[in-house]
């Protein structure tokens, strides 16, 4: 089996903000280097975890430039360029591609909830204009609209639509998608797990890797899971996964992401600031739960 085109462990990177609420580009550079040195094969910049809905067009461009210049030669860089606005998604995708990113992540249009033929038209328009490959981001819990399997298979036929970040939350659906993609002759189309707690079930269902939030904290251990799985050491992969699962559940389920992972990253001494409104810092009770999860995982 060939290696995934963008790597096995991709971190959906948080966006650091300074005390004044501005994007902290120096902190973003430092964080990107830290992540690549600690298990990440690639980075997703300005995705959901990067609080993309609160970032301006220019802030996103500045972040793409900063991360590409810092680690572009050592890791794959995937720019989050999708939104509910097709024309803005096209413009940002074109600009990001010109800056040297390896691919763009394009989320299902949120709020507007287009029908499936609208999704085909939206993603096809972006792919036709894009200078780089696209990774579709299917996360119906946030967008209100799933990319149904027939739609995904139709889109997978486009030469620049090469992968899916699967955050549907059902490994059985992932397995069906993989089987139907293969039957349709789309064996090169890759599926990435988009949900840390479902990493091992997604691998069993045919995912090639993960776009992870928890890799901010345990990137090396997640990389170990991937290595063990690929070497056929299923019991070892299961052991490490089981050890990480309580932490993953806390970071991904305690409150709205990326509130917990930003707090946890700060607790580990990597300053990424607080979230932007409408997200808020964790409550005192939530902070206690995050700290306990880090302590139980041996990180504090």
Q: What percent of the chain has pLDDT over 90?
A: 99
**Which DSSP helix (H) or strand (E) runs through 9?**
strand 9-12
Residue 298's pLDDT band (boundaries 50, 70, 90)?
A: very high
Instruction: Write the CA distances from 42 to 34, 73, 236, integer angstroms.
Output: 12, 10, 24
Residue 67 has pLDDT above 90, yes or no: yes
Residue 2's pLDDT band (boundaries 50, 70, 90)?
A: confident
The residues pairing with 274 across neighbouring beta strands, listed in sequence order, are none
Q: Is 137 a catalytic residue?
A: yes
Q: What is the pLDDT of residue 282?
A: 98
Q: 60, 137, 192, 241: which one is catalytic? A: 137
* Cα 183 off chain centre by: 27
Query: Class of the 9-233 domain?
Result: alpha beta
Would you tell me the crossing angle of helices 215-230 and 25-37 to the nearest 10 degrees?
30
Q: Is the peptide bond before 114 cis (omega within 30 degrees of 0)?
A: no
What are 166-207's pLDDT values in tens digits?
A: 999 999 999 999 999 999 999 999 999 999 999 999 999 999
C-alpha angle 218/221/222, rounded to 5°?
Answer: 85
Residue 22's pLDDT band (boundaries 50, 70, 90)?
A: very high
Average pLDDT of the chain to the nearest whole number: 97
Instruction: Please classify residue 32 by burial: count the beta carbons closer than 10 Å to its beta carbon, then call 0-12 exposed, 13-18 middle and 19+ buried.
Output: buried
Q: What percent of the chain has pLDDT over 70?
A: 100
Q: Is 165 a catalytic residue?
A: yes
269 in the Ramachandran plot: left (φ > 0), alpha (ψ -120 to 50) or beta?
Answer: left
Per domain, the residue ranges of the chain are 9-233
What are 68-84's pLDDT values in tens digits?
A: 999 999 999 999 999 99
What are 237-268's pLDDT values in tens digits?
A: 999 999 999 999 999 999 999 999 999 999 99
What are 108-120's pLDDT values in tens digits?
A: 999 999 999 999 9
Residue 15 has pLDDT above 90, yes or no: yes
Q: What is the pLDDT of residue 124?
A: 98
Residue 1 has pLDDT above 90, yes or no: no
Cα separation of 292 and 300, whole Å?
Answer: 9
For the segment 5-25, the average pLDDT, to the nearest whole number, is 97
What are 128-151's pLDDT values in tens digits?
A: 999 999 999 999 999 999 999 999
Q: 165, 192, 223, 241: which one is catalytic? A: 165
């Amino acid at each position: 089996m060939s290696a995934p085109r963008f790597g096995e462990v991709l971190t959906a990177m948080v966006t650091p903000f300074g005390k004044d609420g501005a994007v902290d580009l120096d902190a973003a550079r430092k964080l990107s280097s830290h992540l690549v040195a600690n298990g990440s094969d690639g980075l997703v910049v300005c995705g959901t975890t990067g609080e993309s809905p609160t970032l301006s067009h220019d802030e996103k461009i500045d972040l793409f430039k900063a991360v590409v210049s810092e680690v572009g030669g050592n890791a794959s860089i995937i720019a989050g360029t999708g939104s509910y606005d097709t024309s803005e998604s096209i413009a940002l995708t074109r600009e990001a591609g010109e800056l040297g990113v390896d691919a763009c992540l394009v989320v299902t249009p949120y709020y507007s909830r287009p029908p499936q033929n609208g999704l085909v038209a939206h993603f096809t328009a972006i792919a036709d204009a894009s200078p780089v490959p696209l990774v579709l981001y299917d996360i119906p819990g946030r967008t209100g609209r799933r990319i149904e399997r027939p739609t995904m298979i139709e889109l997978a036929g486009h030469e620049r639509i090469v992968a899916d970040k699967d955050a549907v939350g059902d490994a059985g659906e992932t397995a069906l998608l993989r089987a139907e993609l293969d039957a349709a002759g789309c064996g090169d189309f890759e599926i990435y797990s988009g949900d840390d707690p479902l990493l091992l079930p997604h691998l069993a269902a045919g995912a090639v890797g993960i776009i992870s939030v928890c890799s901010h904290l345990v990137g090396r251990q997640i990389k170990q899971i991937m290595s063990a799985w690929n070497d056929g050491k299923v019991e070892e992969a299961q052991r490490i996964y089981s050890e990480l699962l309580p932490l993953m559940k806390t970071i991904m389920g305690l409150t709205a992401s990326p509130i917990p992972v930003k707090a946890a990253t700060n607790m580990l001494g990597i300053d990424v600031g607080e979230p932007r409104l409408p997200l808020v810092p964790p409550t005192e009770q939530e902070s206690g739960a995050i700290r306990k999860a880090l302590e139980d995982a041996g990180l504090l």
